[in-house]
């Protein structure tokens, strides 16, 4: 299986986000290390347009066999197109993979166990795709679009008005941590969302997806807490 970690250098919200320090190491290192520890990949490739990111990625054990083309490095470039580019690169080198996985570097709490379990689910369920999700923090039934007047008329429907939170149906959202599938199906669909896809459920804490400075602080607190828990358990 081919792992592709897309990591461009031009992050707008948090400059140099993918290599910003998080509790003592670059953000991207968490994803590279999890991929290596999972032992399910034949190749772990970082696709980047940045020589600095490339050097750091290689230092932590990933391959950077090419520098990503400019037309795949803009603000509106699709990460699925980045994966397709990596697949095509290896095809031209005579190397093909039965499965492909996209691991975004902004999910530092997604670990090797999650990757291994998602891969097992992909094979055992005979699915074309497995994509990670988590339960929504707040039910979308409590949400609505506001008009220019910010009117609340019809904001909550009658069913939701009288229901307690515990009785509302569970909703799940994409968490951005794992996108995995059969390479042939991905190439045909040009996306990890197609027929015969299965959700891999993660908890909310493990699903943090770093997009801004606040996310960094939350991730740091969680990583520090997990490290303390491991130290305590190890001393028992």
207 DSSP assignment: G
Q: Active site residue: 120, 165, 173, 225, which one?
A: 165
Concatenate the DSSP letters of all residues of 127-140 into one string: -SEEEEEEE-SS-G
- Distance of alpha carbon 46 from alpha carbon 86, whole angstroms: 9
- Among this protein's residues, is 120 annotated catalytic? no
- State how far the Cα of 101 lies from the Cα of 115, in Å rounded to an integer: 9
Q: Residue 35 and residue 113: Cα distance in Å, rounded?
A: 10
203/219 Cα distance (integer angstroms): 14
Distances (CA, A) of 36 to 43, 67, 96: 9, 21, 20
Query: CA 130, 18, 202: angle at the middle one, nearest 5?
Result: 30
Residues labelled as active-site residues: 165
């Amino acid at each position: 299986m081919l792992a592709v970690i897309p990591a461009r250098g031009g992050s707008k919200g948090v400059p140099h986000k993918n290599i910003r320090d998080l509790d003592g190491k670059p953000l991207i290192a968490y994803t590279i290390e999890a991929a290596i520890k999972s032992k399910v990949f034949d190749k772990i490739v970082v696709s980047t347009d940045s020589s600095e990111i490339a050097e750091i990625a290689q230092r932590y054990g990933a391959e950077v066999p090419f520098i990503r083309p400019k037309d795949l490095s803009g603000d509106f470039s699709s990460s699925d197109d980045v994966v397709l580019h990596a697949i095509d690169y290896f095809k031209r080198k005579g190397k093909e993979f039965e499965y492909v996985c996209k691991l975004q570097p902004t999910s530092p709490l997604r670990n090797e166990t999650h990757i291994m379990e998602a891969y097992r689910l992909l094979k055992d369920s005979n699915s074309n795709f497995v994509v990670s999700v988590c339960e929504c923090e707040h039910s979308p039934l409590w949400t609505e679009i506001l008009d220019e007047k910010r009117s609340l008329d019809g904001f909550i429907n009658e069913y939701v008005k009288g229901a307690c939170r515990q009785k509302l149906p569970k909703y799940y959202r994409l968490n951005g941590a794992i996108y995995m599938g059969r390479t042939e199906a991905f190439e045909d669909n040009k996306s990890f969302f197609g027929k015969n896809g299965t959700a891999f459920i993660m908890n909310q804490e493990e699903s943090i997806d770093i997009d801004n400075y606040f996310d960094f602080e939350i991730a740091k607190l969680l990583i520090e807490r997990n490290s303390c828990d491991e130290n305590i358990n190890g001393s028992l």
